[in-house]
Chain A
Amino acid sequence: MITANKYEKILNLIQDLSIDNNTKKLLLKEFSYLQKTVEKQDFKITRLKEDKKITEYFLNANIQDLEVSNKLLVSYKEKELLQKENQLLFKESQLRQIIDALPSGIAYIGKDFKYKLFNDLYNQWFGCPEKTIIGRHVCWCDRKLEFNKLIIPILKETFQGSLKEFIISIVDFNENNVILKVYTVPALDNNGNNIGAYMYAQDITAIKNKENELKESEERIRDVFDNVYDAIIELDSEGYITNFNDAARKFFDVDNPLGLHVPSIVHPDDIERSKFFFEKLKNEGFYENYQGRILKEDGTIIYIEVNSVGKFDKNGNLIGSRDIVRNLTETVKIQKILEDKNVELERYIESNMQLENFAYLASHDLKAPLDNVRNFSNLLNESALERLNTEEKIFLQFILQGVNNMQKTIKSLLSFSQVSNKKLELQKVCIFDTLNELKTDLSVTINENKAEIILPDTPKKLFISVDKILFRQLMQNLILNAMKFTPKGENPIIFINCTSNQQGGWLISVKDNGIGIADEFKEKIFLLFKRLHLKKDYDGLGIGLSICKKIVELHNGRIWVESEEGKGSTFYFTINN
Chain B
Amino acid sequence: MRKFKHILLIDDDHASNYYHQYIFNQSELSENIYTVDNLDNLSLQLDHINQLNEEEIRPSIIFLDVNMPKYTGFEILEKYIHIFTDLSNKGAQMYVLTSSNNQRDKLKSKGYEMINGYLEKPLNDQFINVLKGIS
Contact = CB atoms under 8 A, between A and B. Distances in A.
Interface string B36-67: 01111000000000000000000000000001
B18 A533 contact: no
Interface in A532-548: 532-535, 542
A264 B73 CA distance: 63
Contacts of A534: 12, 37-40, 69
B93 to A, nearest CB: 27
A372 interface: no
Contact of B70 (A391, A401, A533): A533
Contacts of B69: 530-534, 542
Contacts of A531: 69-70
A20 B86 CA distance: 142
B21 to A, nearest CB: 11
Contacts of A402: 15
A493 B87 CA distance: 46
Contacts of B22: 391
Contacts of B39: 534
A544 B39 CA distance: 22
Interface string A498-525: 0000000000000000000000010000
A529 B70 CA distance: 11
Nearest to B40: A534
A576 B40 CA distance: 40
Contacts of B12: 534-535
Interface in A388-404: 391, 394, 398, 401-402
Interface string B14-29: 0100110010000000
Interface string B79-101: 00000000000000000000000
Q: Give chain A's interface secondary structure class.
A: loop
A398 B70 contact: no
Contact of B18 (A394, A529, A535): A394
A533 B39 CA distance: 9
A534 B13 CA distance: 9
A530 B15 CA distance: 19
A401 B15 contact: yes
Contacts of A398: 15, 18-19
Contacts of A530: 69
B104 to A, nearest CB: 12
A319 B41 CA distance: 72
Contacts of A542: 69
A542 B70 CA distance: 11
Contacts of B40: 534
A416 B39 CA distance: 28
A380 B82 CA distance: 48
A391 B22 CA distance: 10
A560 to B, nearest CB: 19
B122 to A, nearest CB: 12
A533 B37 CA distance: 11
A575 B106 CA distance: 40
Nearest to A537: B40
B72 to A, nearest CB: 10
Interface centre among A391, A529, A534 (most CB of B within 10 A): A534
Given A534-B12, A534-B37, A534-B39, A521 B70 contact: yes
Interface string A358-399: 000000000000000000000000000000000100100010
B109 to A, nearest CB: 20
A406 to B, nearest CB: 12
A532 B15 contact: no
A516 to B, nearest CB: 14
Nearest to B70: A532
A48 to B, nearest CB: 122
A532 B75 CA distance: 13
Contacts of A532: 69-70
A402 B19 CA distance: 13
A531 B69 CA distance: 5
A521 B71 CA distance: 10
A78 B53 CA distance: 146
Nearest to B38: A534
A531 B72 CA distance: 11
Interface in A455-476: none
Contacts of B37: 534
A325 to B, nearest CB: 51
Contacts of A401: 15
Nearest to A540: B69
Nearest to A394: B18
Nearest to B18: A398
Contacts of A533: 69-70
Contacts of B67: 529
A534 B37 CA distance: 9
A152 B40 CA distance: 113
Interface string A137-175: 000000000000000000000000000000000000000
21 contacts: A394-B18, A398-B15, A398-B18, A398-B19, A401-B15, A402-B15, A521-B70, A529-B67, A530-B69, A531-B69, A531-B70, A532-B69, A532-B70, A533-B69, A533-B70, A534-B12, A534-B39, A534-B40, A534-B69, A535-B12, A542-B69
Interface of B: 12, 15, 18-19, 22, 37-40, 67, 69-70
Given A401-B15, A402-B15, 19 more contacts: A391-B22, A394-B18, A398-B15, A398-B18, A398-B19, A521-B70, A530-B69, A531-B69, A531-B70, A532-B69, A532-B70, A533-B69, A533-B70, A534-B37, A534-B38, A534-B39, A534-B69, A535-B12, A542-B69
